[in-house]
Amino acid sequence: MFRKNERHQQWPMFGSICELPAKLQRRLEESWADVFYRECFSRIDESLFERLYADMDSRPNTPVNVLLSFEILKAGFGWSDIEAYDHFCFDLQVRYAVGHRNLDEGHFELRTVYNFRRRVLDHYYRTGQDLLGLVFEQVTDEQLQSLGLVTSKVRMDSTQIASNIRNFSRLHLLVEVLRRVRRMLSEVDRARYAEPLGPYVKQSSTKFVYGVSSDDGRKHIARIGQVMSRLVKELAANYAKDPTYALLQRVFEEQFIEEDDDWRPRKPEEFRSGTLNSPDDDEATVRRKRNMLYKGYVTNITETCADENPFQLIAMVQTAPNRHTDGGFLETSLLPLKRRLDLDECYTDGGYNKESLYRTMQALDIEHIQTGIQGHSSSSHLSLYLYQIERSDTGEPVRVTCPQGQKVPVTVRRPGRYHAYYDLEQCQDCPHAQECRAHAYKSRRTLIFTDYDAEIAKRRQRIEAFKVAGRNPRSAVESTVYAVKRPFGAKLPVRGRYRVHGLMVASAFMVNVRRIHRGWRHLLSPTESRICQNAVPGRSFSILADFSRRIANLLAPCWVSARI
């Protein structure tokens, strides 16, 4: 039975905290634990998780905000489950952060955390609803409003995430799948397929692969293809609904290709995007980026970036198989960000580039500011960004000036496509005549461009301006990405897209808490800090919001980035 946790709002008159010396009590109240309690724990809307529990009268649930805090602190400090549980039992700071003022209250078994995770995961795969993402956005929106931070400008970046899977070779993967297929079979079928499966199930797949040379490996792969072809056909009648059969069928189709009424192993160039890497994580994919091979997922981080903010907060976390494009992340996040943050400007790198994305941002009145553009300008002619395009009040191009200063009107050929005509006589002495983008024809030169061409030219001009100014508003988000990933190292301790996503969301929670805590310490005087600590939960930063606005104009942008 679901019940909200409201006991933490009534503090006991006497408790373990009260027994501390006044100096230690004050230090505890000035630590991250108090910020976590007020700005994270107390803001969690537990009713989002009510659907995970039974409607009938029964034993009340362990508080949802406590279980979510367990996940947040575990991810934020890089603890294992056992380490996090020990901290919940014995660490006074952690207990203070989750609203416990006595050491003898609020205990639960670690199995409760596992059951909670399973319910959240089952709910996601059953309904597609991301409860962890919803509560992160709900808490962050309240924090942004309470702190008075400007949210109209954001920046984003993506990063590769490795799930907790082994790096299987091709032969290793095929042998492991055969071993799992054998475990799926009934006793009768095991005897029936004992001969074809025998060489691959006598020992572990790892030991089998270690004893195979590279030349023999190719022969074994071809032989396994014949075995799998037979199994896929003959086992469909009795095992079609079994997950292991689905694994067998997927691996066979991805690793082999039909040719001349037979099956042969695929060549490296014939592999498709999204090929299975591990039988333990069927959502992880392979991606080659900058000559590096990545296996797993990609996470996209979005944070505020207005100069007047004394610090920035992460506003959105997205996770997908790593073949997902950066432009796809931006396209799916635009409408929610516009609705939540009233977004006006978005800073990204060159990977977030897509013509349909430009149309979407244009419709939502969002300015896309890139600090790089995929590809390069052609060396055979002048790039359009060297031309100056003047626009009307409605945003349509009306005049264009070439690099040599010749200004001509723009003609609309059809919606979104424009022509500009230059006098050929005036172009005769131009030093750029050979590489001019405008093509010569009879008595004039014609410059042809589209709305999207003009947008890319505008972005390139802005990039050049950033280079001259020596300032890149997007670059600080890379440190944010590192801060979110730092507790885990190169590989996360979980498998599966949603478990990976949940860990990244939990880590982002803690990054925000740390930033608010640093803002509190550096921006408030001791008197204002003590007033905030005695404020009502949820209103603790009203003074900080006013104070930050007073000093924001005194903070240089470079100082703000350094603090982040």
pLDDT above 80: residue 547: no
CA 154 to chain centre: 14
Which residues, in sequence order, are CB contacts of 411 under 8 Å at separation 6+? Answer: 418, 419, 420, 421
Which range in 44-53, 355-364, 378-387, 551-560 is most confidently predicted, on average pLDDT? 44-53
pLDDT for the residue numbered 275: 83
Is pLDDT of 531 > 50? Answer: no
- Report the range of poorest mean pLDDT among 35-49, 242-256, 518-532: 518-532
Q: Residue 428 carries which side chain, given as an amino acid letter? A: Q
Residue type, 344: D
Structure tokens at 125: 């795969």
Q: Is the domain covering 145-167+285-371+472-564 a CATH 3.30.420.10 domain?
A: yes
Average of pLDDT values for 153-160?
94
Residue 59 has pLDDT above 80, yes or no: yes
SS3 state of residue 268? helix
**pLDDT for position 390:** 85
Mean pLDDT, residues 344-349: 90
CA distance 548 to 542: 10
- The SS3 call for residue 259 is strand
Neighbours of 335 (CB within 10 A): 13
Question: CA 344 to CA 346: how far, in whole Å?
Answer: 7
Per-residue pLDDT, 386: 79
For the segment 319-344, what is each residue's pLDDT rounded down to a tens digit?
999 888 898 999 999 999 999 999 99
Round the average pLDDT of the chain to a whole number and report it.
85
Q: Report the pLDDT averaged over residues 109-114.
A: 95
pLDDT value, residue 520: 80
Domain ranges of the chain: 1-129, 145-167+285-371+472-564, 170-276, 384-469
Which residue did the predictor score with more confidence, 528 or 393? 393
- 126-151 residues labelled b (16+ CB within 10 A) or e (exposed): eeeebbbbebbbebbebbbebbbbbb
Residue 466, pLDDT > 80, answer no
pTM assigned to the model? 0.80
pLDDT more than 70, % of the chain = 89
Q: What is the pLDDT of residues 359-391, one digit of tens each?
A: 888 889 898 888 766 555 545 567 787 788 888
First to last CA, the chain: 42
> Rounded distance, CA 418 to CA 410, Å?
7
Would the pLDDT of 560 be above 60? no
Contacts of 292 (CB under 8 A, 6+ apart): none
Of 285-294, 323-332, 396-405, where does mean pLDDT reach its minimum?
285-294
Tens of pLDDT, residues 479-491 = 999 999 999 987 8
Does the pLDDT of residue 291 top 50, yes or no? Answer: yes
Overall average pLDDT of the 66-77 stretch: 96
Give the range among 386-400, 459-473, 522-536 with minimum mean pLDDT.
522-536
Highest mean pLDDT out of 395-404, 462-471, 554-563: 395-404
